[in-house]
Every structure is written in structure tokens, then in C-alpha cells.
């Protein structure tokens, strides 16, 4: 079987979707994968093999993303003359999905798989695609099979009127090799995320006013960095909030395992791999009940929910977890979360489920 993948970004530029492609394809050896993506910094090779994928990069910088539907479509037609693809795979309903749609219209016999990974809210996506709503809907409706990483995203597809099968297969995580004790000795609160509005980090910074003596480490980077630094200074928290910045993904577990509690009070979320990574090292997790988070977080069983846009609620849950009187309950919850992640979110299990989907195309 020959499959052509369309993805706006790929290694060395790493996000949840890119990791998913790499981890899944590395575990499926009997399918030939090619991938079309953007040369985001203009410094990568135009063509190379990474793992089990032949990667073709188009354009020379981030602006090339906006032309990707057309450049990728033309390159896909060229490759198809030689390869005769059995299936095409769109990573998200964005410019990559649009390129895939164009190819599907040209070659309707080629099966089309759409993966939904988007973490933005329905309203945010709708506002961003208002000028192309018929095309946006067609990205979904022309698919022969849809894989969504959460029930939230599966429901979005159904609301857009798809007729094809829609299956929930989550992202996995790269599990740490060593088991970590549930007896946490960490001294700080942590959030690992892009510094963007949807992740609710302004609310988390404000919450630290009500968590006496604890440090907050924000691991990640993004457009809200300067605004968050200004907020931190205005609240007099500059000595208690550390902007760690972007770190190598291999170091993320080191930060997580040494934390007292992980918090990301998201406004929207496709799934949320960072929550699962925290659970994998027995770090208690606080989240909001939005998007795909309720797929894995049950309040009081695998983590704790706080209210959306409510710093006082966030602080209340942090202080509850830190209270030594609640240690037995906290240890029970983090152990249940740890076992859930090990049982349901291993990449070998996810790859097996994806291979089954390919067999249906």
C-alpha cells in the first residue's frame, strides 16, 4: 500500500501532529509513506528520508504555508504519476486538508483519510474560515474515513455532515522508561504549553496570587510571552513565576517529574498530550472540562477539574493537592492516572489502531 501524507509542518518542527505522524509511521513497516510539507525556515533539505517516510518540502519560509494547497496539489499530481497512491492522508483540516481535497477531486478513486488534531474552539475555527466555508466543509465531507484524536473533534465532524466512518484514535505519548514514585517532592507548579490565549495561562498566573510560597514554571514559548511577563510584574509575582521557554522534548519529563502539580486551564483543547505526559510521571493534573480533556480526565479519579477563566478555582484545586491532609487521595488519583496512560496511550497501541484504519481504505 502506498500513502501520501499532507502536513503543513514536519520534523524538525515538532508539535503533537508531527510527533503522531512519526510515531505511527515508524511502527507500520508494510506501508510505503511519502509526505508533502512546507520548508518552514528554508534551511531544510527539499527531499530526504526520515524514519519510514520520504519527505518532500515545498517553499522556503512560513509564507509558503499559504500557498501550500496549490503547491502541494501540483507536487502530489507529479508524484502520483510515478507512485500511483492507494490513499492520501491529511493531517488536519487546514491548508493540508485543502490540498488533499484538491487531489481527491482530481483522483476520486484514491481513498482519503482525514485526521483531526485541532485544539481551537469551534467558534475560533468558524471565524477563521468564514470566507471559505463551503471548501472547509468539503474537507470533511469528501473524506472516506476520519480519525479524530478526541470525542470532541469526532462530534465536530458529525456536526459538519460527514457520511463516512468517524473513529476516535487519540495521540499517544512517548512513555518514560523509568517508573516514578507517586510520593512527589517537587517544589513548584508547572504548565507545559504554547503561550497562547487558548491555554488559559493568564488565569494560571493570576491564580498564583492565592497559592502562597509556590513557584510557577511556564515551559514553552508563544505570542503571549511578553503580555504574561507584564501581567506577572503587575501582580508582583516576578520572583515566583519563571518563563523557562522552549525546551527539548526529551527534557520535558525532567521538569514534569520534579513538579508538585501540573496545571493548564485551557479555554479549548483538541486532546492535550502534556496532561498525559504529566500523568505518566505521577504528577497530579488540574485541567478544565473543555474539548477532548474529559476523554481521559475524570474529576477525582484521574485528575481534578477547575472552572474555566476562574483563577480562584484554579488556586483552590492547587492548594487542595498540596495540602498534606489530602496526600492519600492524591496518591490514589495519580496512580490511577498513571495506569490509564500506560494502558491506553502507548504509541504501539495507537499505531495498531491506525493500521486497522488503513486496512479499511
Residues 160 and 197 in one domain: no
CATH number at residue 56: 3.40.50.2000
**Which tens digits make up the pLDDT trace of 40-56?**
999 999 999 999 999 99
Instruction: Compute how many other C-beta atoms are within 10 angstroms of the C-beta atom of residue 359.
Output: 9
In a domain, 201, yes or no: yes
In a domain, 110, yes or no: yes
Query: Alpha helix locations (H) across 183-310?
Result: 201-207, 225-234, 252-257, 273-280
In a domain, 127, yes or no: yes
In a domain, 181, yes or no: no
Residues 320 and 355 in one domain: no
197: containing domain? 188-344
Residues 83 and 161 in one domain: yes
In a domain, 180, yes or no: no
Select from 55, 54, 2 the least CA-distant residue to 31: 2
- C-alpha 216: how far from chain center: 22
Residues 221 and 99 in one domain: no
> Would you give per-residue pLDDT tens digits along the chain (361 residues)?
999 999 999 999 878 899 999 999 999 999 999 999 999 999 999 999 999 999 999 998 889 999 999 999 999 999 999 999 999 999 999 999 999 999 999 999 999 999 999 888 888 888 888 889 999 999 999 999 999 999 999 999 999 999 999 999 999 998 887 655 555 556 899 999 999 999 999 999 999 999 999 999 999 999 999 999 999 999 999 999 999 998 987 789 999 999 999 999 999 999 999 999 999 999 999 999 999 999 999 999 999 999 999 999 999 999 999 999 999 999 999 999 999 999 999 999 999 999 999 999 9
Residues 278 and 149 in one domain: no
Angstrom distance (rounded) from CA 321 to CA 294: 20
CA distances from 2 to 33, 86, 239 (A): 6, 5, 55
Residues 24 and 118 in one domain: yes
With H, G, I as helix, E, B as strand and everything else as coil, classify residue 358.
helix
Cis omega (within 30 of 0) for bond into 134: no
User: Is the model's pTM score more than 0.75?
Assistant: yes
Residues 160 and 192 in one domain: no
In a domain, 178, yes or no: no
Our count of domains for the chain comes to 2
Residues 141 and 11 in one domain: yes
Residues 242 and 317 in one domain: yes
Residues 37 and 141 in one domain: yes
Residues 104 and 17 in one domain: yes
In a domain, 236, yes or no: yes
**Which tens digits make up the pLDDT trace of 134-182?**
999 999 999 999 999 999 999 999 999 999 999 999 999 988 876 555 5
In a domain, 162, yes or no: yes
Tell me if 256 sits within 8 A of 281, measured CB to CB: yes
Residues 141 and 244 in one domain: no
User: Using the 8-state DSSP alphabet, how is residue 116 labeled?
Assistant: E
**Cell triple for 183:** 510520593
Which phi and psi angles does 42 have, rounded to 5°?
70, 5
Angstrom distance (rounded) from CA 261 to CA 188: 7
Select from 185, 97, 81 the least CA-distant residue to 137: 97
Amino acid at each position: 500500500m502506498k500513502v501520501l501524507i499532507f502536513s503543513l509542518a514536519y520534523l524538525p518542527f515538532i508539535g503533537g501532529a508531527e510527533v503522531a505522524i512519526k510515531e505511527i509511521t515508524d511502527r507500520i513497516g508494510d506501508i510505503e509513506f511519502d509526505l508533502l510539507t512546507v520548508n518552514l525556515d528554508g534551511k531544510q533539505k527539499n527531499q530526504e528520508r526520515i524514519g519510514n517516510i520520504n519527505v518532500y518540502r515545498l517553499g522556503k519560509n512560513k509564507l509558503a504555508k499559504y500557498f501550500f494547497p496549490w503547491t502541494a496539489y501540483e507536487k502530489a499530481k507529479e508524484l502520483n504519476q510515478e507512485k500511483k497512491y492507494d490513499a492520501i492522508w491529511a493531517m488536519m483540516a487546514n491548508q493540508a486538508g485543502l490540498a488533499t481535497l484538491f487531489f481527491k477531486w482530481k483522483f476520486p478513486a484514491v481513498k482519503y483519510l482525514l485526521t483531526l488534531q485541532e485544539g481551537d474552539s469551534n467558534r475560533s475555527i468558524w471565524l477563521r474560515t468564514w470566507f471559505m466555508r463551503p471548501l472547509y466543509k468539503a474537507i470533511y465531507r469528501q473524506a472516506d474515513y476520519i480519525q479524530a484524536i478526541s470525542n470532541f473533534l469526532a462530534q465536530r465532524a458529525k456536526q459538519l455532515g460527514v457520511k463516512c466512518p468517524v473513529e476516535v484514535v487519540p495521540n499517544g505519548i512517548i512513555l518514560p522508561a523509568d517508573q516514578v514514585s507517586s510520593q512527589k517532592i517537587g517544589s513548584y507548579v508547572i504548565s507545559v504549553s504554547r503561550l497562547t490565549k487558548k491555554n488559559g495561562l493568564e488565569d494560571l498566573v493570576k491564580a498564583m496570587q492565592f497559592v502562597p510560597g509556590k513557584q510557577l514554571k511556564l515551559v514553552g514559548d508563544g505570542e503571549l510571552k511578553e503580555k504574561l511577563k507584564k501581567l506577572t510584574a503587575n501582580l508582583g509575582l516576578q520572583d515566583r513565576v519563571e518563563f523557562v521557554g522552549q525546551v527539548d522534548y526529551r527534557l520535558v519529563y525532567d521538569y514534569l517529574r520534579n513538579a508538585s502539580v501540573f496545571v493548564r486551564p485551557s479555554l479549548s483543547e483538541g486532546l492535550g498530550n502534556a496532561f498525559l505526559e504529566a500523568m505518566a510521571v505521577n504528577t497530579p493534573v488540574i485541567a478544565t472540562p473543555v474539548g477532548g480533556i474529559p476523554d481521559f480526565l475524570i474529576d477525582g479519579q484521574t485528575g481534578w477539574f477547575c472552572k474555566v477563566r476562574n483563577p480562584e478555582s484554579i488556586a483552590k484545586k492547587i492548594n487542595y493537592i498540596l495540602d498534606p491532609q489530602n496526600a492519600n487521595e492524591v496518591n490514589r488519583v495519580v496512580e490511577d492516572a498513571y495506569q490509564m496512560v500506560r494502558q491506553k496511550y502507548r504509541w504501539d497501541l495507537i499505531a495498531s489502531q491506525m493500521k486497522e484504519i488503513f486496512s479499511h481504505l
